[in-house]
Structure 1
Amino acid sequence: MTVTVRDVRPEAPEDTAAFARIRRRTLPYMISTGASLAYDLRHTHPDAHYRPLLAEEDGEPVGTAQVGLVYDSPEPGHAYVNVYVDPDRQGRGAGSLLAATAEERLRALGATRLYTWVSDAPAPRGFAERRGCRAGRSAHFLRLDLAHGALPPLRTPPPGVELVTGTDFADDPRPLFALDAETVVDEPSDVEREFTDYEAWLEETWNHPLLSRELTSVTVVEGRPVAFTAARTDGTRYGTVMTGTLRAFRGRGLAKLAKNHSLHRAREAGLREAFTGNDAGNEPMLAINKWFGYEVCATEVQYVRELG
């Protein structure tokens, strides 16, 4: 038995398909496809140095790692590596080799602090702790049965409020960029981020092949987008990747209005499962998702290690 690690080749469909297959086995709550991975490899900002890795056992893909720098943080040196090994091939060295290879690369790029998400279970947590990482915040994955669940009924927007979709911003998405940029900085996180690069946002978010502009819902007040829920889909599953409201408009149920609008249209489109994720301490958003009928289906813990 020989385990090796190499880069995923964006031009090789067999590589990206294997990466997506392993990710779906280990993390089925996040939407990923071979095509979307190939897109990410070609369009992620060059300063991220995004280099996903593939572990092979005797030539067969058995594990993956997401590796890169948090390039949009105002504090330099933050990096991440998330390792996932096929459940049938764990405990045979693939995870350790992936982590070691990723860490070596990130050190060479000047990384000083490493973040990694692992499943909230004894074996993955032990893996992180043996590598000198300390536990930090946790986050939940949530699932909603769109096919059989009972969504809250749609309601008419209050006077002065309009519901539109992402397609209404096809000619000029900059107002959505401004909305996304303000809301993302308030997301619970150990790493501060800033959305200041509109062109990078276009490449990594707006033009991403999994983003559904038709299912993305936006709440508009007096012509200004003030709340939204951004949706991704692989054609069978639906995932909310961001839901938020401008600070001045919070407390009025405008994000809930947008998300309900999106979920109803997703069900009408034939999608059967909806997924989302929330920081374990984000009680307002967890309460909203509980109201929709989402249930926690898995939990991950973020670990951090100083590379100094």
Structure 2
Amino acid sequence: MEIRPARPDDAPALVALRAVVYPYLVRGVESTRKMISEPPPGENWAAFVAEIDGRLVGWASSYLHASTSEPGFGEISLLHVHPGYRRQGAGSALFAACVRHLRQAGARRVRTFALEQSLEYARRRGFEPSRAVHYSALPLRPAPAVPPTPPGVRLVPLSDLDPMRLYEAHVAAAADEPGDVAPDANSYESWRYGVWTDPGLDRCASVAATANGEIIGFTLVTRDGERMWSEMTATLPQHRGRGLALLVKSAALQRAAEGGVTVAYTSNDESNAPMLAVNSRLGYCRVATQWSCLFSR
């Protein structure tokens, strides 16, 4: 077995591995290649792969969150090993590589995510479960009906929006998003890298609701072939309770279906009752639950 840093040409094999281990997660080859070749700014990001007999069988990444003011908040993200190669030490070796990287980067508190059956593995390494995150899927044949647009509201594709205006709306809407850390330091540079220039962003299916020229709600769609991921659906605080999240998300699902998407995936924190209700109304069905797990030194 070899543990080594990930390379851009690993992207196709990584996407294929993710489809086996986490079929409900959507990140295409070009998005994965970009992440490896041009790591996110300000995050001290690093990724490692496990190879056995020349076959890529495992992957994990680690980084410091640049979107929070909490210093040294790190993450070990998406550690996964092909089912046919488990219990051979690949997962432990990848975990150790990520821990070494985060120590060198100065991490003080670290988060990872684990399925229910992996919680004991996480506990043995000093992590304790914090929050449940539910993953859901929705077949788009047919897509849900789009509700009527309220008077004075327009639906606009991202392709027609100024990125700075969308960034400002994103920051305002995410201020009270549930999670383990406050998303209170997301710079425009980081947001532009993670959202606006993502090769997987579908600018036609992603939709914003506007009123009087201002963005009041939006949903972001990333895509890999016939699969899509709802990156974020949000309404600005002063406009909540008007059904705008349901409106923009159903409009995006319909646009995506018209563009050839056959299944949509999303995730929600267990405490985010409003979005869970929206997804339930749209017909999403739960396919997995992961727990965020925290380690503090």
What is aligned with 2:147? Answer: 155
Equivalent-residue separation in structure 1 for 2:38 and 2:211 (angstroms): 33
Equivalent-residue separation in structure 2 for 1:199 and 1:133 (angstroms): 31
What is aligned with 2:61? Answer: 66
What is aligned with 1:139? Answer: 133
Runs of 4+ residues over 4 Å off in structure 1: none
Q: Note if 1:91 corresponds to 2:87.
A: yes
Structure 1 residue 144 displacement after superposition: 0.2
Unpaired segments ≥5 residues, structure 2: none
Amino acid at match of 1:93: G
What is aligned with 1:19? Answer: 14
Q: Note if 1:279 corresponds to 2:269.
A: yes
| Contact 1:63–1:95 (8 Å) recurs in 2 | yes
Equivalent-residue separation in structure 2 for 1:291 and 1:70 (angstroms): 33
Amino acid at match of 1:86: H
Equivalent-residue separation in structure 1 for 2:290 and 2:248 (angstroms): 27
Structure 1 residue 27 displacement after superposition: 1.0
Structure 1 residue 72 displacement after superposition: 2.0
Identity rate, percent: 35
Structure 1 residue 34 displacement after superposition: 2.5
Structure 1 residue 281 displacement after superposition: 1.5
Equivalent-residue separation in structure 2 for 1:212 and 1:61 (angstroms): 29
| Contact 1:24–1:32 (8 Å) recurs in 2 | no
- Farther-moved stretch of structure 1 (228-237 vs 58-67): 58-67
What is aligned with 2:119? Answer: 125
What is aligned with 1:116? Answer: 112
Q: Note if 1:305 corresponds to 2:288.
A: no
Output aligned runs, 1:148-227, within 5 Å: 148=142, 151=144, 153-169=145-161, 172-227=162-217
| Contact 1:44–1:203 (8 Å) recurs in 2 | no
Structure 1 residue 46 displacement after superposition: 3.3
TM-score with structure 1 length normalisation? 0.92
| Contact 1:219–1:255 (8 Å) recurs in 2 | no
| Contact 1:237–1:271 (8 Å) recurs in 2 | yes
Equivalent-residue separation in structure 2 for 1:188 and 1:281 (angstroms): 7
Equivalent-residue separation in structure 2 for 1:278 and 1:132 (angstroms): 25
| Contact 2:228–2:263 (8 Å) recurs in 1 | yes
Partner-residue secondary structure (3-state), 1:29: coil
Equivalent-residue separation in structure 2 for 1:6 and 1:304 (angstroms): 25
For residues 65-97 of structure 1, what are the alpha-carbon distances to aligned partners after superposition, in whole Å with 9 as ceiling and x for unaligned? 021111221011111113111111111100000
Partner-residue secondary structure (3-state), 1:267: helix
Alpha-carbon RMSD across the aligned residues, in angstroms, is 1.4
For residues 200-230 of structure 1, what are the alpha-carbon distances to aligned partners after superposition, in whole Å with 9 as ceiling and x for unaligned? 3222210110000100011001111110010
Structure 1 residue 195 displacement after superposition: 4.6
Equivalent-residue separation in structure 2 for 1:107 and 1:117 (angstroms): 19
TM-score with structure 2 length normalisation? 0.96
Of 100, 103, 111, 2:96 maps to: 100
Aligned length: 296
Equivalent-residue separation in structure 2 for 1:47 and 1:159 (angstroms): 42
| Contact 2:68–2:186 (8 Å) recurs in 1 | no
Q: Note if 1:36 corresponds to 2:31.
A: yes
Structure 1 residue 196 displacement after superposition: 4.3
